[in-house]
Amino acid sequence: MRVRFTKMHGNGNDFILVDEFKGVVVVEERKPEFVRAVCHRYFGIGADGMLFVQKSDVADVRFRYFNSDGSEAEMCGNGIRCFSRYVVEEGYAESPLKVETLAGILELEVTRDDEGWWVRVDMGRPRLEKEEIPSLEEVWGKEFEFDGRRFRVYALNTGVPHAVIFVDDLDFNIIPAAKHIRHHSVFPEGINVNFARVIDAKTVRVRTYERGVENETLSCGTGSVAVAVVANRLGLTGRSVDVLTKGGKLKIEIADDTVYMTGQASRVADGYINTEELRYDLP
C-alpha cells in the first residue's frame, strides 16, 4: 500500500501531512504506530509530528495532530498553520476558515505574498486555572530546583500545557532541566517547557522542549504564545511581541479575550509512503 503525504514545516517545526478529507487512509487503531514509524528520522521520513486532514460536522475542516511518539495532542500552533495552508491550497476551504480541533474551533486567515504563505491564527483564550492546565497546584511563579539551580515556573494552557521560565542567558543545555519539569508530578498529563529571554518590550527569544517529541524543537507555536502571554502579564513586554525561535520569527498579538499568532507555513515535498517498507519495531 502507498500513502500519499505532504512534508511541511512552520519555522523548522516539521510535519508529515496525510489527507483523509475524502476518506480514511490510516485506520484509527493503527494511527499511533503509523505515526511513530513515519516520523522516525532514520527509518521513516522524519518529522516532529503528523497532521491528518479530515471532514468536520461543525467547521470547515477537522484538524488531527499526533506527536512523533504516536500520542495525540489537542493543538499545535505551527502544525495548524501548515494544515490551514494545505486546506486552502487544495481548495477544501477558503480563507478565513474555521478549523475543528480538540482545543475547540479556531479561525484562521491564510494569505500569500512574495515571501511565501502566511497564516494568522486566533489561538483563543489562554487558560490559567490549575484545572485547565492541568496541574495539581497553582504554578505561577513557583520555584523548581534541578541540579542546584532554581527555576521560577509559570504554567498555563494555550491549546496544550506549557511551562514558561525566564532566564538571563539561553546558551545552556535546556534538556535535562526541561525533562525534570516536563515529568514533574505536579503536572499529571506532562507539560511542554519553554525557556525565554526578554530582549526588549517587543522582542523575546525562546527555546522549547516539547512533550511527545521529547526533545527541543526548532519552533513551537503554542509555546511562543505562552511565552508572550506570561511576559505581558508580568509587565515584561507589550501586547504585540516578536517571538524569536531557532527556526524563525512568530508575531504574537494579545487582545482582550484572545491571542493571535502569525507565521509562515512551508510546503517542501509531496510524495508516497511505501507502507510495506516501514519499520514498526523501532529501536
Residues 6+ apart with CB under 8 A from 281: none
Q: What are the DSSP E strand ranges found in 24-88?
A: 49-54, 61-67, 72-73
Whether 82 is a known active-site residue: answer: no
User: Are the C-beta atoms of residues 69 and 76 closer than 8 Å to each other?
Assistant: no
Q: Which of 26, 76, 204, 259 is catalytic?
A: 76
Element (H, E) at 105: strand 104-113
Binding-site residues for substrate: 13, 67, 77-78, 192, 210-211, 221-222
Active site residue 220: yes
Catalytic residue among 139, 220, 229, 278: 220
Cα–Cα–Cα angle for 114, 118, 123, nearest 5°? Answer: 165
Binding annotation: 13, 67, 77-78, 192, 210-211, 221-222
Q: Which helix (H) or strand (E) holds 86?
A: helix 77-89
Please give the torsion angle defined by the CA atoms of residues 2, 23, 118 and 166, in that order, rounded to the nearest 10 degrees.
-90
Q: 226-259 burial, b for 16+ CB within 10 Å, e for fewer? A: bbbbbbbeeebbeeebbbbbbbbebbbbbeeeeb
Integer distance in angstroms from the first to the last C-alpha of the chain? 24
Q: 33 is written with which cell numbers?
A: 504506530
Name the DSSP class of 171.
-
In angstroms, the Cα distances linking 43 to 27, 69, 103 are: 21, 14, 31
- Catalytic positions: 76, 220
